[in-house]
A and B are shown apart, each in its own frame.
Chain A
Amino acid sequence: MLHLILFSVFGLVCVVGAVNLLLQKHPINSALSLVVVMGSLAVEYLLLGAEFVAAVQVIVYAGAIMVLFVFVIMLLNAGEEEHTEGSRVAWLLGIPGMLAVTVIVCWALLMHSDTRTVSLGALPGPPADIAQLLFHEFLLPFEVTSILVLIAIMGAVVLAARPESAPERKEG
């Protein structure tokens, strides 16, 4: 019962945040509602027993990535989005289409699912077990992602750096 109430409340918060992201005109409002979505998703992970994923969700997604988004929105002084002919067509075609697809997918999931249930904290996954898995069976993918992150850092620095003819930079 408690599980159902927590799931419903935070699932509702999650969906409302996601819809609010679509309805808001200003990017900063969209970013803040995305933080709400990620925070409530972390609670859903906790309900499933995935403590490690919940912690990483809060730290990496709601913390680091969203700070990056908010920083860029403020840096670029992004204003309200303008509407064009293309955006009206996208509204008219996109929203009914996605509503139809969502209803069909949800119907299929609810009709054809078996009666398996997930109990509160079903996943016996303490972080130690995940570390064991990560550093033994998934060691090679882990190292590959570390290289990926290194390349991404260098790429971000190169892309966001000012062009080399910047006046304030002089050879010393």
Chain B
Amino acid sequence: MIPLSCYLVLSAILFACGVTGFLIKRNIITIFMSIELMLNGVNLSFVAFAAQWHNLSGQVFVFFVMVVAAAEAAVGLAIIIALFRTRETLNIDQVNLLKL
């Protein structure tokens, strides 16, 4: 038997790691991975609450979050490829303008 708060603390730590990576990383792909980490942290708290309240809707919502994350990853990585083609760099400090 584990308190629900343990799962929530783990989820909060994962989310905080994601936010920290989003702030300190300079590589656009790593920033993208930090966003995925944040989504995973939120998914864990969804499943923990679903188990807490014996309600399966939380799991269905996790499924939708995963679908959106997959779509986001596909489009985002395509944008990164298009960006790399024009800028020849992945460092976001050099990608701060929309126009070349």
Q: How far is the CB of B47 from chain A (nearest CB, A)?
A: 5
Q: Are B57 and A133 in contact (CB under 8 A)?
A: yes
Cα distance A14–B6 in the bound complex, in angstroms: 13
Q: How far is the CB of B61 from chain A (nearest CB, A)?
A: 9
Q: A61-B40, A116-B3, A123-B54 are in contact. Are A156 and B91 (CB under 8 A)?
A: no
Cα distance A48–B27 in the bound complex, in angstroms: 35
Q: Are B56 and A86 in contact (CB under 8 A)?
A: no
Binary A-proximity of B1-25 (CB < 8 A = 1, otherwise 0) = 1111111111011101111110111
Q: How many chain A residues touch B (Cβ–Cβ < 8 Å)?
A: 85
Q: A94-B20, A123-B50 are in contact. Are A117 and B2 (CB under 8 A)?
A: yes
Residues of A near B95 (CB, < 8 A) are: none
Q: How many chain B residues touch A (Cβ–Cβ < 8 Å)?
A: 67
Is the contact region of chain A dominated by helix, strand, or loop, or is it mixed? Answer: helix
Cα distance A145–B50 in the bound complex, in angstroms: 21
Cα distance A124–B59 in the bound complex, in angstroms: 11
Q: Are B48 and A98 in contact (CB under 8 A)?
A: no
Q: Are B4 and A118 in contact (CB under 8 A)?
A: yes
Q: How far is the CB of A124 from chain B (nearest CB, A)?
A: 7
Residues of A near B70 (CB, < 8 A) are: 60, 64-65, 149, 152
Q: Are B29 and A118 in contact (CB under 8 A)?
A: no
Q: How far is the CB of B37 from chain A (nearest CB, A)?
A: 6
Q: How far is the CB of B100 from chain A (nearest CB, A)?
A: 14
Q: Are B69 and A134 in contact (CB under 8 A)?
A: no
Q: Are A118 and B30 in contact (CB under 8 A)?
A: no
Q: Are B90 and A78 in contact (CB under 8 A)?
A: yes
Binary B-proximity of A68-101 (CB < 8 A = 1, otherwise 0) = 1100110110100111101100110111001101
Q: How far is the CB of A88 from chain B (nearest CB, A)?
A: 10
Cα distance A27–B14 in the bound complex, in angstroms: 18
Binary A-proximity of B57-100 (CB < 8 A = 1, otherwise 0) = 10110111011111111110111111010000011010000000
Provide a sorted-by-A list of 10 A–B residue pairs whose CB atoms are within 8 angstroms. Answer: A3-B2, A21-B34, A30-B30, A37-B14, A61-B69, A68-B77, A69-B77, A98-B16, A118-B4, A152-B74
**Cβ-closest 6 pairs across A and B:** A152-B71, A94-B23, A113-B5, A159-B78, A18-B17, A156-B78
Which residues of A come within 8 Å of B, CB atoms?
Answer: 3-4, 7, 11, 14-15, 18-19, 21-22, 27, 30-31, 34, 37-38, 41, 44-45, 48-50, 52-53, 56-57, 60-61, 64-65, 68-69, 72-73, 75-76, 78, 81-84, 86-87, 90-91, 93-95, 98-99, 101-102, 105-106, 109-110, 113, 115-119, 122-125, 129-130, 133-134, 137-138, 141, 145, 148-149, 151-153, 155-160
